[in-house]
Amino acid sequence: MVQLGLIGDNIARSRSPALHVEAGRLCGLEVTYERLIPIDLGRDFASVFLHCRNSGYRGINITYPYKEAVVRLIRVDDVPTAQIGACNTILFDADVPRGFNTDRTGFIAAFRKSFPGEQPGIVAMAGAGGVGKALAFALERLGARELRLFDTDRARASSLKTSIEAAGAAMRVVVTPDIAAAAADADGLVNCTPLGMVGHPGSAVPAAHMRTARWAFDAVYTPVDTQFVMDARAHGISVMSGYELFFHQAVDAFRLFTGCDVDPEALRAALGRQDAAA
């Protein structure tokens, strides 16, 4: 039995349980995977985390808005994860829990699969929180020439810029005053805010600022067709949905949890059959 879970807000519709249980089945493992919403449990985040640590969980995933908060509760040995300063995957296999960031590796894999042979170019990104940090470092690894950051918390965007520069990245990073300045003549548009998520209507990038982009990505995947995604498609922009990041980061997390490499295509097909039957 491999006991796993997900801590986050607004995760009642998360597909993570289905994915990890099915990945386990394909690898001959019995996997349980629980959604753990602190407010519903009447606890704060740290209390739920400690419950998982002390209750036999092999590991947990962390999602919005706790990817940065968890760092103070764990050990981070992985250099890219330490540079990012946010974790979405935790292993309870030592005296001190270990943290990893599969958002970074998952985005790299998803981008290469969705846009084979493409370079990110100049990228406008809204949101510099936990997932934004991971995607910024992923974009640098993918060879982006320039990253334009916009966040309503300008200090958070400036902090991410400092972290990327301190890591010796070749990518130019600019903090912009608004999304219009970020999106002007950008090749790619990225949403790393909760806007578009169930309970958070709207879009971080108004349709009027989508004129020059050739590709777009929305980190939100519930629902898959957010306002941002629909507007981008209406402008003829090639879109990578948030589901692709969710899928690839989960495959990487499953490998960390179990040591097993699940066949991605078999897993995708199995999940598709589940959705068709629902």
CB burial readout 24-48, b (16+ within 10 A) else e: beebebebebeebbbeeeeeebeeb
CA nearest 125: which of 193, 37, 58, 190?
A: 190
The two tokens of residue 259 are 């040591």
List 33, 57, 64, 66, catalytic entry = 66
Sequential DSSP letters for the chain: -EEEEEE-SS-TT-SHHHHHHHHHHHTT--EEEEEE-HHHHT--HHHHHHHHHHTT-SEEEE-TT-TTGGGGGSB---HHHHHHT--SEEE--SSS-EEE-HHHHHHHHHHHHHSTT----EEEEE--SHHHHHHHHHHHHHT-SEEEEE-SSHHHHHHHHHHHHHTT-SSEEEE-SSHHHHHTT-SEEEE-SSTTSTT--S-SS-GGG-SS-SEEEES--SSSS-HHHHHHHHTT-EEE-HHHHHHHHHHHHHHHHHS----HHHHHHHHHHHHHH-
66 included as an active-site residue: yes
Catalytically active residues, by annotation = 66
